[in-house]
Structure 1
Amino acid sequence: MTHAPQLRIPACYLRGGTSKGVFFRLQDLPEPARQPGPARDALLLRVIGSPDPYGKQIDGMGGATSSTSKTVILSRSSRPEHDVDYLFGQVSIDQPFVDWSGNCGNLSAAVGPFSISNGLVDAERVPRDGIAEVRIWQANIGKTIVAHVPMANGAVQETGDFELDGVTFPAAEVRIEFMDPAADEDGGGAIFPTGNLVDDLEVPGLGTLRATMIDAGIPTVFVNAEDIGYTGTELQEAINGDAGALARFEAIRAQGALRMGLISHPDEAARRQHTPKVAFVAGPKDYVASSGRPVAAGDIDLLVRALSMGKLHHAMMGTAAVAIGAAAAIPGTLVNLAAGGGDRTSVRFGHPSGTLRVGAEARLAAGEWTITKAVMSRSARVLMEGFVRVPSDVFSQVR
């Protein structure tokens, strides 16, 4: 009996923000996986260890959570004024598919450092010391991200004293700018797909909920915590162990996706797990973060809890943070009202792991809101580099 040998593929395992993922250079992928399609999906599923009916991803690089079941493919950009093309794949844990419908804001923080270290940015654009500006084309959603990466002695600086709630150890700060996060590739696109700051969203089994549905950073459906029986101070165990609660959130997400025009039938939501996100907001309250650290109501503007891939996130997705910042900057949205209303250019919100500040610049022109930029700070660090291995018969069942 013959056995398939393993492929040996150059890769790097990085933490970016509060997520981890396997990073590849496009040129290093096996030939069948260099183009979008079933072969690429099959490879990434096998790398991560999905689909896994046990829900553990033991036979792969995934960590069995939405934050750790991620892949990134990077290449030099052919687009003017950009250094690198960034493609993100959210790998389902228990189903055989990769969701390419959105970006990962947390892993965006690792794109610049990886690109510099792996020769994807022209050397003359990278200072020996100081801050390197990496211009990233986010290929999933057709938007620009600018990463400000610290350099020391000709190498990316990874260690430092910047602390990020949801990450155990400090590291170097990487400032991320999401440019025109609500614009499409041609510079257009509606930040509110329904045309309204707040809608009445009919959800079977729940009735009518007030909802802000915004497409900035990532399509997100915001509802009020009190309208669905929560306070906004909940931690993961309060929701992720409640199958009924998760089903209700999925129903909200499906109806939101339908109203936002992302799907044509609620049943399609199951095949689009990464987007939209669903989140609930409340005014500031004292609570204890998952680390045991008290968070005082006076230190935050509002509370936000968000779900990713069907589970309450342990901190906050970076793209959802962009949506929070954008919605907070626009008077009258549920996010803005939970933060106290009025005009604001930044907001500090409480999430299960602590707090996060995000800034956004909003502008009203001809009756339409636009977001010119959203800014936040994250950190990134290489955890392991070398090669991943997958059985060479990974492409044998691809049609």
Structure 2
Amino acid sequence: MASSQIKVPATYMRGGTSKGVFFNLEELPAQAQEPGQVRDKLLLRIIGSPDPYGKQIDGMGGATSSTSKTVIVSKSTCPDHDVDYLFGQVSIDKPFVDWSGNCGNLSAAVGPFAIHAGLIDPQRIPHNGIVEVRVWQVNIAKSIVVHVPIVDGCVQETGLFELDGVTFPAAEIQVDFMSPGASEGSMFPTGNQVDSLEVPNIGTFSATLINAGIPTIFIDAEALSYQGTELQEAINSDQAALDRFETIRAYGALKMGLIESVEQASSRQHTPKIAFVSQPKSYVSSSGKKIDTQQVDLLVRALSMGKLHHAMMGTAAVAIAVAACVPGTLVNNVCGGGERESVTFGHPSGTLKVGAKALNAGDGWTAEKASMSRSARILMEGFVRVPSDIFE
């Protein structure tokens, strides 16, 4: 009698302020080692989607955009890289996996996972020190360098580094996003640092549309009648506000050339992101910590998969860093304008410092690198089980 379930080797990891199920490509069922519907079907079932209840009770997902994630890692086919990293954002209530972008938070966990999975040459791992894991991010065709700390020949996971949005301290992992601007076309798809974004029946907004880290739409908080100090409940409990954000996001995606009609935005939930920015203000974070005006250069709130994020997506943090370093963008303006190479912004869970180096060589702006510190930890390893009829 056939087993009622199949076992798939997997590792459950936290990376930054996200969690996801990580797989070694070679350990996936043969049918799912190639991209397509079979793979998507498997990942959806593992995470517990689609779930009309929105809870993902029958799967590994945590019913938020930050915890409904999958990662597939393999030996790299790209020269001068160690591993290929493919990210799948799994919809909670709809039957699709969005492969259109990266997860910056889980990028920090790719380095430790690659070492754990035996995908890094042991000779490159010191007894004590740092391993630079060279990652090829398949979704966006970009390089990421993950600086993994090693102690006594093993990945250091515990430590004293504190990351707002994560309860417990851990070891610090620096993540460098190399040339994070658009692979094709301009980093500013319209060629402008600020655009006029017309949204029928809602209004016309000044917006910075940037493709760095992840395509992102930045709008001034005041234009949306917000302070920029809002926490999740203020936005996520207001369905009219969420619907308005989604409509603005759809028209922004159209103006960025990411979709051909606004209707296509519903099947491209992961990108672009939409965020609103404001000048520094004091507020109390979701953990009860007071954030003072002088601690930050600006405030940013961003939505992911239709909800206000509890902290900040790593890729959106890259977009914030790059936009802040380009004079004339909305992000740069609320920071006070001028040239800079780093910025500290306030988000619902606290603050984050990010760095970037942007250049204008005369033919448009480009970004050399964006960097931030994250942390990562293995939460569980072994097997996930799915019904054996998953491929029928």
TM-score by length of 1: 0.97
Counterpart residue number, 1:154: 153
Cα deviation 1:13-44 (Å, max 9, x = unaligned) = 00000000000000000011000000000000
Matching of residue 110 in structure 1 with residue 106 in structure 2: no
Counterpart residue number, 1:192: 188
Counterpart residue number, 1:277: 273
Counterpart residue number, 1:10: 9
Counterpart residue number, 1:312: 308
1:189 CA displacement: 3.3
Using the alignment, how far apart are the partners of 1:303 and 1:123 within structure 2?
A: 43
Aligned-partner SS, 2:65? coil
Counterpart residue number, 2:374: 378
Kindly tell me: are residues 51 and 310 of structure 1, through their superposed partners in 2, closer, same or farther at Cα, counting changes over 3 Å? same
Counterpart residue number, 2:175: 176
Using the alignment, how far apart are the partners of 1:203 and 1:171 within structure 2?
A: 43
Counterpart residue number, 1:57: 56
Contact 1:290–1:353 (Cα < 8 Å) also in 2: yes
Using the alignment, how far apart are the partners of 2:147 and 2:182 within structure 1?
A: 22
Using the alignment, how far apart are the partners of 1:143 and 1:205 within structure 2?
A: 38
1:122 CA displacement: 1.1
Alignment counterpart, residue 287 of structure 1, candidates 283, 308, 312: 283
1:4 CA displacement: 5.7
Aligned-partner SS, 1:20? strand
Question: How many pairs were matched up?
Answer: 392
| Residues 1-399 of structure 1 aligned to structure 2 (within 5 Å) | 5-184=4-183, 189-396=185-392
1:5 CA displacement: 1.6
**Residue identity matched to 2:32:** A
1:133 CA displacement: 0.4
TM-score by length of 2: 0.99
RMSD of Structure 2 on Structure 1 (CA): 0.9
Using the alignment, how far apart are the partners of 1:61 and 1:377 within structure 2?
A: 26
1:127 CA displacement: 1.3
Using the alignment, how far apart are the partners of 1:218 and 1:189 within structure 2?
A: 14
Aligned-partner SS, 2:158? coil
Aligned-partner SS, 1:335? helix
Cα deviation 1:157-176 (Å, max 9, x = unaligned) = 00000000000000000000
Contact 1:143–1:183 (Cα < 8 Å) also in 2: no
1:299 CA displacement: 0.5
Gaps of 5+ in 2: none
Contact 1:56–1:63 (Cα < 8 Å) also in 2: yes
1:367 CA displacement: 3.6
Aligned-partner SS, 1:52? coil
Aligned-partner SS, 1:239? helix
Aligned-partner SS, 2:67? coil
Cα deviation 1:56-87 (Å, max 9, x = unaligned) = 00000000000000000000002110000000
Cα deviation 1:179-222 (Å, max 9, x = unaligned) = 000141xxx53100011000000012221100000000000000
Cα deviation 1:317-343 (Å, max 9, x = unaligned) = 000000000000000000000111110
Report sequence identity in percent: 69
Using the alignment, how far apart are the partners of 1:289 and 1:351 within structure 2?
A: 8
Cα deviation 1:118-160 (Å, max 9, x = unaligned) = 1111112221210000000000000000000000011000000
Cα deviation 1:85-132 (Å, max 9, x = unaligned) = 000000000000000000000000000000011111111222121000
Aligned-partner SS, 1:67? helix
**Residue identity matched to 1:251:** T
Using the alignment, how far apart are the partners of 2:276 and 2:320 within structure 1?
A: 11
Aligned-partner SS, 1:168? coil
**Residue identity matched to 1:372:** E
Using the alignment, how far apart are the partners of 2:7 and 2:83 within structure 1?
A: 24
